[in-house]
Amino acid sequence: MYYVDLLISGVAFGCLYAMATMGLTLVYGLLRILHIAHAALFTLGAFVGVWVFNASGSLIVGLIVAILAAVVMGCLIYRLIYESILSQPPYVPLLASLGVLIFLQDGFRIVFGEEGLTVRHNPFYMANFTIGAFSINVIYIVMAGGALISMAVLAFFANYSRHGIAWRATVSRPLLAANFGVNVIQVRYAAFAAGSALAAIAGVLVALMNNLVEPHSGELISYKGLAIIVLGGLGNMQGAFIASLVLGIAESFGIGLAGRYVDRDAIAAVALIATLMIFPNGIGRART
Amino acid sequence: MSDVLLRSDHLCRAFGGVVAVDDVSISVQRGELLGLIGPNGAGKTTIIRLLTGIQRPDSGKVFIGPDDVTRLSTDRRVRRGLALTHQIVQPLHGLSVLENVALAAGQAATRSAIASLFHYGRGREVDAANVILTRLDMLAYAGNMPDTLPLGYLKRLEMARALALNPDVLLLDEPLAGLNQRESAILADLIIALNADGLTIVLVEHNLAEVLRVATRLLVLDAGRVIADGSPSEVVRRPEVRDAYIGQGASNA
Amino acid sequence: MTGYHLSLISLTGIMIVFAVSLNMIMGLCGQVSLGHAAFYGVGAYVTAMMSAGGVPTLYALPVGMLIAGLMGLIVGFASLRVRDDFLAITTLAVGFLFVGVVRKSRALGGEFGISGIPESGLGPAGDAFLVAFCVVLTVALSVYLSRNWTGLAFRSISANEEAAQTLGINSAHYKLLAFCIGCALAGLAGGLYANYARFIVPGTFGFSLSITAAAMVVIGGIGSTAGVVAGAVLLTLFPEIFRFLGDYRMLVYGALLVGVMLFQPKGLAGIPSMVRRWAGPR
């Protein structure tokens, strides 16, 4: 039973990582930027969502406003920061992105306070779902379900919509795509918007799980997100999804079995190093 | 009496099912200027990359003199007397032209990473680099950074670095590609002069007119195989060579 | 000069050693490292444990360097297998691994770290002199390395590893050397820090310190020893210089990082040539 619990929480966290970091994968695929400021969009979504939820009493309204706020901020980060430094060596956008993360996190602290916000009437708090001998946290189901639905929507768009096809064309052959009339700039905005929206949803879900959002909540996904895109293989969405699940399950079992010797982050680090030493170019490969 | 400086033994290499080099055994004799030609995709560049160790063969061996070097890395093969120029120029950005060439001339100083810690002076290597740059008519640009130079000079920089290694065998991968006619002729004359000084050269080249002018022996490749081997004037008269080129629809000759 | 000033100068010196050590790996040899704080931590913990065990600081410091250098060698082997962004992520993971292990290790004091590290016995002035001596040594080594044959080989690998190999450079050996020297000096900086702070906790050696070091290198000007020293001084004294900002310091720090990357990506080291271009004849 214990191992089943570990597996369930691992899958739930894996789905959450996938949703939270899909924006990183989209951005890395297009621009080869390690967009660590993405973690701040996750926190922004959580803060705005919880604040509006507390004020209005409607989770849906909170979620929508959170998504809007994150999308606007994500597109602003591209326009104001990344656009002008795309040609620089990769550590320049990385450090700029870190600067944005530090700036926004401190901004959250100033606006919302050091202690953050608590969810006032949390429908999922301590709620369990019981089948026979099993008892599962409802929030885990919501996390996994929310992630799978939103990823399915994204995958559908990527595979069948004009924007999605343009995105895939731009990832594999940027110059060629541009010559075939793909509006590369539009594709970039679409990627930032979609990724930021997913991060906002993930942020709200994590806030519901913890019943709390803090200025540093985003650190949960900041560096793991980088790990996932690299493991997933250069902007490959399926690869990133698999890497997220692997990471979530590895962490879950790692804590269950070796939690006395190392912490959650260190387990992820070991999984990461081991994977990279075996597959130096990541698990998946971008379609070309 | 000629002896073999570089030899390949039944080399094979495929890329994802496409056979690029198929059972190629060639030997490079001391003092010759061996031309390596063939239509696009014949496997010329792959052979150079297998000989220098940038890529590894699926099967087959590479010998430098009597020694099997198949398992040695590129830098170790270079230290055993190979030098190559890249088809697509690869200058070291952030190093001046002079430093690019001096680094190649400093084989003794960079042989061991730890020993290199104790090597400081560059006088001798800079002198050697200056001599080579003078010969290539590039001395005026010694202080320039590579990213300020046009392609013609970068091609010569490739050559200068390779010469600074003081090799036994010089492998040139399309040194004339992208140059105009006058530049090509000057560089081709230099290649002849170097060979006349006793340097053994393998020349991969698309510009058939220049190859036929400079080579002492010609190998023709098609679809990864050697289809002809002999003196330039004799080889180009063979029907299978003409077929290989016509089959490609190329008419560079 | 008050004790406070002396302590501030010591801390600045320690950070100079640390940032310059990272520059050897990242600036000279072109290998990105986002986990450099781990080696600083190794040096700090080794020195702290040995000092607490009664070994004089002056003997403990070189041991800390040695062990940090050996750890660097191990991570260096990883750099032979992965490159660029993959290397950045690998080193990042090494940083998290170090903190995660130390945090849970009872022998190393766990979350509470090691306190009551005994004094070196050199006195405040002696300690400051020790730091100054290490700064001079590190900076001199960095300048020497950027001009000698090792540095030339490092720079060739940084520019284009494959091309460097075709010039007979054994890039694997040089990369290992860079990691070894850089991490050993980071260990030295960490040892000096343990001796300076006399109290260390695992949280100090985490991701944010690694990032701070990378920011010092890049804001100073990657590859330039003088620039990196300036970057280290600027960022270490940042809280002092911007004391008047009070509660908004981190906000301004983030904005500064973004601003430098946007408008002066070559860092402080790029400023002289920029000024020359403006002032010079057109």
Burial of A152: CB neighbours in 10 Å, binned 0-12, 13-18, 19+: exposed
Nearest residue to C219 via CA among C256, C268, C275:
C268
pLDDT digits (tens, 9 = 90+) for C58-109: 999 999 999 999 999 999 998 898 887 888 889 999 999 999 999 988 889 8
Question: What one-letter code names the amino acid at A228?
Answer: I
Nearest to C104 among A102, A263, A280 (CB): A263
- pLDDT above 70 for C280: no
**3-state SS class at B5:** strand
Average pLDDT over residues C108-113: 88
Residue pair A235/A171 in contact (Cβ under 8 Å)? The answer is yes
* Range with the poorest average pLDDT among A75-84, A276-285, C90-99, C206-215: A276-285
Mutation target among A265, A277, A281 for the C interface, most CBs of C within 10 A:
A265
- Residue B25 sits at φ, ψ, to 5 deg, of -120, 115
d(CA B197, CA B170): 13
B95–C149 CB contact, under 8 Å: no
Closest approach of A77 to chain C, Cα-based (Å): 11
What residues does each domain of chain B span?
A: 4-91+149-248
Q: Which CATH architecture has domain B4-91+149-248?
A: 3-Layer(aba) Sandwich (3.40)
Tens digit of pLDDT for each residue in A177-194? 877 778 888 888 988 999
The pLDDT, as a whole number, for residue B252 is 45
Q: Which residue ranges of chain B lie beneath pLDDT 50?
A: 1, 249-253
Which residues of chain C does B84 touch, with a Cβ-Cβ cutoff of 8 Å? Answer: 166
Instruction: Give the residue-averaged pLDDT of C262-279.
Output: 82
Given CB atoms, is C236 within the 8 Å cutoff of chain B? no
Mean pLDDT rounded to a whole number for chain C = 91
User: How would residue C31 be classed by pLDDT, with cut points 50, 70 and 90?
Assistant: very high
Residues in chain C: 282
Q: Does domain A2-278 have CATH number 2.40.50?
A: no
Do chain B and A touch: 3 or more Cβ pairs under 8 angstroms? no
Confidence at residue A288, expressed as pLDDT on a 0 to 100 scale: 35
> Both tokens of residue C31?
């290998």
The C-alpha atoms of residue B170 and residue B83 are separated, in whole angstroms, by 5
The whole-number pLDDT of residue A287 equals 39
In angstroms, rounded to a whole number, what is the distance separating the alpha carbons of residues A67 and B201?
65
Contact B122 C149 (CB under 8 A): yes
Q: Which two tokens stand for residue C48?
A: 């702290």
Percent of chain A at pLDDT > 70 equals 95
Token pair listed for B92:
């070291």
pLDDT at A284 over 70: no
Among A113, B145, B117, which Cα is nearest to C181's? B117
Q: Facing residues of B201 across strands? A: B33, B170
B251 min Cα distance to partner chain C (Å): 33
- Min mean pLDDT across C106-110, C234-238, C241-245 is at C241-245
Mean predicted lDDT score pLDDT of chain B? 90
Helix axes of C249-263 and A91-112: crossing angle, nearest 10 degrees: 150
Higher pLDDT, B172 or A284: B172
Residue of chain C nearest B105, judged by CA positions: C167
What's the whole-number mean pLDDT along residues C270-280? 78
- Domain residue limits, chain A: 2-278
The residue among C140, C258, B5, C186 whose CA lies nearest residue A102 is C258
CB-CB under 8 Å, B99 with C168: no
Secondary structure of chain A in HEC code, one letter for each residue: CHHHHHHHHHHHHHHHHHHHHHHHHHHHHHHCCCCCCHHHHHHHHHHHHHHHHHHHCCHHHHHHHHHHHHHHHHHHHHHHCHHHHCCCCCHHHHHHHHHHHHHHHHHHHHHHCCCCEECCCCCCCCCEEEECCEEEEHHHHHHHHHHHHHHHHHHHHHHHCHHHHHHHHHHHCHHHHHHCCCCHHHHHHHHHHHHHHHHHHHHHHHHHHHCEECCCCCHHHHHHHHHHHHHHCCCCHHHHHHHHHHHHHHHHHHHHHHCCCCCHHHHHHHHHHHHHHHCCCCCCCCCC
Cα A140 off chain centre by: 16
C155-171 confidence digits (pLDDT tens): 999 999 999 999 999 99
Q: What is the end-to-end Cα distance of chain B in Å, rounded? A: 33
Give tens-digit pLDDT for B194-251. 999 999 999 998 878 888 889 999 999 988 899 989 999 888 888 888 887 766 544 4
DSSP state letter for B217? E
pLDDT tier for residue A235 given thresholds of 50, 70 and 90: low
Reported pTM: 0.89
Q: Does C174 touch chain B (CB under 8 A)?
A: yes
Radius of gyration, CA atoms only, chain C: 19
pLDDT in tens, A90-147: 888 988 999 999 999 999 999 998 888 988 888 777 777 777 767 778 888 888 888 8
Q: Is the Cβ pair A34, C88 closer than 8 Å?
A: yes
Q: Looking at chain B, how many residues does it have?
A: 253
Q: In the prediction, which pLDDT does B233 show? A: 87
Q: Do C93 and A227 touch (CB under 8 A)?
A: yes
Mean per-residue pLDDT over chain A, rounded: 85
Query: What is the per-residue pLDDT for B250?
Result: 44
Beta strand ranges found along chain C (DSSP E): 114-115, 199-200
- Say if CB B173 and CB B150 are below 8 A apart: no
For B150, the 3-state DSSP assignment is coil
pLDDT greater than 50 at residue C184 = yes
Q: Among residues B130, B93, C239, which one has the least CA distance to residue A89?
A: B93
The helix (run of H) or strand (run of E) holding residue B9 is strand B4-15
Residue A181, pLDDT score: 77
pLDDT at A172 over 80: no
- Between chains, do A106 and C94 touch, taking CB under 8 Å as contact? no
Q: What is the pLDDT of residue C154?
A: 96
Question: Is a pLDDT exceeding 80 seen at residue A174?
Answer: no
Least Cα distance to C193 among C55, C19, C61 occurs for C61
Q: How far is CA B141 from CA B170, B237, C280, in A?
A: 24, 43, 22
Bridge partners of B19, per DSSP, are: B14
